[in-house]
Amino acid sequence: MNKLTRADLFSLERYAEVRPEFRARVMRHKQSRQLPIGDHATLYFEDTLTMQYQVQEMLRIERIFEAAGIEEELEAYNPLIPDGDNWKATFMLEYPDEDERRDALTRLVGIEDKVWMRVDGFDPVWAIADEDLERADEGKTSSVHFMRFQLSPGMVDAARSGKAISAGIDHPECNAVVAPIAENVRASLVQDLQAIEKL
């Protein structure tokens, strides 16, 4: 999947003009890239479009228009775009109540290493979490983690040929499985693998 360059981005002025339409397009796109697992955990799968939106919003909020600043944002967000043989996702633990969230993040220490994806016929692939920086400590986990699910060539071929995909969490305080994931999500994730013909 292509990484973003400055040429892919709207100028601040142009983005102000197209933002409502562009944002609506991204929100529609994101609907097939969300995977709730259990009651409070969700994987939000990233790709070139979701990251373009994130970069454009950061540039807009921070009023960044100089080349160096734009390149910094691209360096920060490009690693979250899939490489053609993996899936990348933002994993969120969502609890509206602050006290409940604080308690859950204490109980769920290590959950970021217990999230998995599986292509039918293969072993689960465990998340590689927070490669950019550590987001948890011995006392509590974070409510947000960035994850990579690295697939073998056989898994890529199987997913592209239509095999079912499942996902889950295997943690003492949170055990949940989605098997199989919804077809619209599966189809969207397969698009992340389309660029790889032969690994």
116-173 tens-digit pLDDT: 999 999 999 999 998 876 666 678 999 999 999 999 999 999 999 999 999 999 999 9
Same domain for 166 and 76?
Answer: no
Same domain for 157 and 171?
Answer: yes
- Model pLDDT for residues 95-129, shown as the tens digit of each residue: 999 999 999 999 999 999 999 999 999 999 999 99
Same domain for 196 and 135?
Answer: yes
How many folded domains does the chain comprise? 2
Q: Structure pTM?
A: 0.91
Q: Which domain holds residue 151?
A: 35-47+83-199
DSSP conformational letter for 80: G
Amino acid in the structure at residue 158 = A
Tokens encoding 35:
């995977």
Same domain for 149 and 101?
Answer: yes
Q: How many CB atoms lie within 10 A of CB 64?
A: 16
Pairwise CA distance, residues 190 & 87, whole Å: 9
- Model pLDDT for residues 54-73, shown as the tens digit of each residue: 999 999 999 999 999 999 99
Same domain for 70 and 112?
Answer: no
CATH code: domain of residue 171: 2.60.40
Same domain for 108 and 21?
Answer: no
Same domain for 70 and 146?
Answer: no
